[in-house]
Amino acid sequence: MAKNVRTIPATLALHTAAPLSAQKKRRVAGYARVSTGNEDQQNSYEAQVDYYTNYIKSRADWEFVSVYTDDGVSGTSTTKRKGFQQMISDALAGRIDLIVTKSVSRFARNTVDSLSNIRALKEHGTEVFFEKENIWTFDSKGELLISIMSSLSQEESRSISLNVTWGHRKRMADGKVAVPYGRFLGYDKGETGTLEVNEEQAVIVRRIYSMFLQGMTPYGIAKTLTAEGIKSPGGKDVWGGTTVRHILMNEKYRGDALLQKTYTTDYLTKKKKVNEGEIPQYYVENNHTAIIDPAVHEQVQREIERRNGAHSGVRIFSGKIRCAECGSWFGSKVWHSNDKYRRVIWQCNHKFDGKRCTTPHLREEQIETAFLAAVNEVLNGRKKAIAAFEAAKRTVFDTTALEIELASLETEMQVLSDKMQALIRENATVALDQEEYQKKFQAMSDRFEQAKVKKTETEKQISDKKARLGEIEEYIRLLKKQDGRVEEFNPELWCGLLDYVTVGDKLVFTFRDGTEVEV
């Protein structure tokens, strides 16, 4: 017998499973996005919202749900697009049958994001219509077309990202500085776009530097500022030690600017990384009005390095008293903390670790009295010290030759870096003799590393000289300021004149100009 094939007509819609004869309206939502906040984009954003609201409502077979929006958000990733995420969530929950949007690039510039979301929507019976490309995702050719268009959009984003990055780096190379003014204490944005000192905030910055040089730690400074109700750079009531440390180390307070401290590693994820030498940095000197004198800033950097975890307290004696036996710093200890005999003593931090040091403990009154004797001896010979400093200032602390050498090394490194990268690109595109390539590359690499080591050493020499000059200038300023003998302990003199005191059979006070006085 001959086969008889009978067709049974479909009664349900393929993707929605709704009866074909049903007159149920499709629940439709619109999606609008602009990636920047400029005026032209704002007009486009408002126009998109108005257009899709009216367009959806004009259709008798559609039921308006909402127009989901993202304003000023990039399309390279969906993770930060709250409107987009809410729309997808509502669709997967069965509240939307159709999403209408302007184009594939409005939906997503990332191919992976675009396809994964469209497939998830398709599995839950939600279609997407891209008006510009006239693509319906339930169409058999829809996914192929979307893959092509998304790839083109992603490549366009990559190209835009490269152009924007080039623009940023060109501005940096030209010495143009940009800072987050909303979270930057001490400066406002001037009419010409330059940094202008905010005197009210600058007082706080100067005070932070002063407190640090008086012996306080970043944590202690933060605690003091919080207790006084002073707002942090971010407008918070509580200061953190890290925030204070960043202020102390920020070169912009001395009128300079280091550019490209971080960079974006991936244009899709927008992930940033601290620049550890992967790309060039630019140091702009005398870019704007300084809040902190460069010599004081150098002094603070040297003090940060000197302490290097030597103490964590907030007392001015911390990190200033050293054990003659083991070289450790003295720390404070409270005796009789709950009665009338309460007193603070200072002893070697390693006094009871393993081998016991025989250095004595000191009461704070003893330290203060001994310092008065030492500082008055120094003041007796101050005229000689001032004359010696003025005579040596122009020769001992001159950094002109070192700065010329540093500029030469930086130029050499840049030339070598360009040559190495060019050689790598040539080897990737042309069949070179690999033995010859490795030999040539290694020779350039060795020269680069040698120049890098010399550059680091030269920078340190310049920094040390400038910091030392700043310290001694402050030392001389304080010497000149004193009129006669010092009768009472003065914290400013302790922090400004003294380098450290060594405790042994006697107390040896080492002052910032190298003078040593035994008491």
> In this predicted structure, what is the pLDDT of residue 455?
92
Position 482 pLDDT exceeds 50: yes
The predicted pLDDT at position 495 comes to 78
The DSSP 8-state label assigned to residue 267 in this structure reads T
| Residues 277/278/279/280 CA torsion (nearest 10 deg) | 20
Residue 195 has pLDDT above 80, yes or no: yes
Instruction: Give yes or no for residue 15 having a pLDDT over 50.
Output: no
What pLDDT is recorded for position 358? 84
* 67-100 pLDDT, tens digit each: 998 876 554 455 668 888 999 999 999 999 999 9
Q: Is the pLDDT of residue 450 over 90?
A: yes
Question: Would you place residue 202 in the very low, low, confident or very high pLDDT band (cuts 50, 70, 90)?
Answer: very high
pLDDT score, position 34: 74
Cα dihedral: 103, 107, 111, 115 (round 10):
-100
- Report whether 28 contacts 62 (CB < 8 A): yes
Lowest-confidence segment of 15-24, 301-310, 389-398 by average pLDDT: 15-24
Tokens standing for residue 255: 């009128």
The per-residue pLDDT for 76 is 47
pTM: 0.51
Could you tell me the residue ranges of all domains in the chain? 26-161, 181-307, 359-518
Average model confidence (pLDDT) for the chain? 80
For the segment 234-239, the average pLDDT, to the nearest whole number, is: 89
More confident residue, 37 or 301: 301
Buried b vs exposed e over 464-478: b needs ≥16 C-beta within 10 Å? Answer: ebbbbbbbbbbbbeb
**Angle (deg, nearest 10), helices 434-481 and 400-429:** 160
Is residue 313 predicted with pLDDT exceeding 50? no
State which fold the 26-161 domain adopts.
Rossmann fold (3.40.50)
> Which stretch of 69-73, 190-194, 471-475, 501-505 has the lowest confidence by average pLDDT?
69-73
CA–CA dist 202, 200 (Å, integer) = 6
111-149 pLDDT per residue, tens: 667 778 888 888 888 988 988 888 888 876 766 776 676
Q: What is the mean pLDDT of residues 31-49?
A: 67
Q: Where are the alpha helices (DSSP H) in 9-141?
A: 39-58, 82-92, 104-107, 111-123
Q: Give me 265's structure tokens.
A: 């590693």
CATH class belonging to 181-307 = alpha beta
- Asked whether 402 and 410 are in contact (CB, 8 A), the reply is no
Q: What is the pLDDT of residues 373-398, one digit of tens each?
A: 999 988 888 888 888 787 777 778 88
Most confident residue range from 109-113, 180-184, 478-482: 478-482
The residue written with tokens 């200061």 in the block is 239
